[in-house]
Amino acid sequence: MARDKHRRTFDGVKEFLTTIGAGTSISGNFTGGDNCLVLGKVIGDFQSAGSLVITSAASWQGNVEAENVMVAGELVGDVTARKQVEILATARITGRIRCPRIAIAHGAVHQGEVLSGLASHQVTRFEDRREPR
């Protein structure tokens, strides 16, 4: 089956084996291989073979590295994604972003630079019509 060009990267993520709940504050460095959903506040670095989602009410202070990264909340730190970064309209990011592909919703705020290893660096901008996670 051909990949639908309009399908978003995180539509294929079926489960999050790691969840940091709303109202939870955690400090420390994290490593793992699973998808991680953040609803609370985290201070520390993150490295995973899975995907990371920082929801609209969540915040993260530290560097993150994952397969895919979606930010709807606040992130202060550098982001490295092996596949894609998706920045939703409610996102506020301060830091350097490294990834082969990036999609940025109108209204999102990013202070820092975007670095891509692709010869034809392209930023996709989109109007976010979905409810934030």
Instruction: Give pLDDT tens digits for 27-69.
Output: 999 998 889 999 999 999 999 999 999 999 999 999 999 999 9
The residue to which tokens 């996102």 are assigned: 91
d(CA 118, CA 125): 17
Contact 84, 100 (CB under 8 A): yes
The predicted structure's pLDDT at residue 85: 94
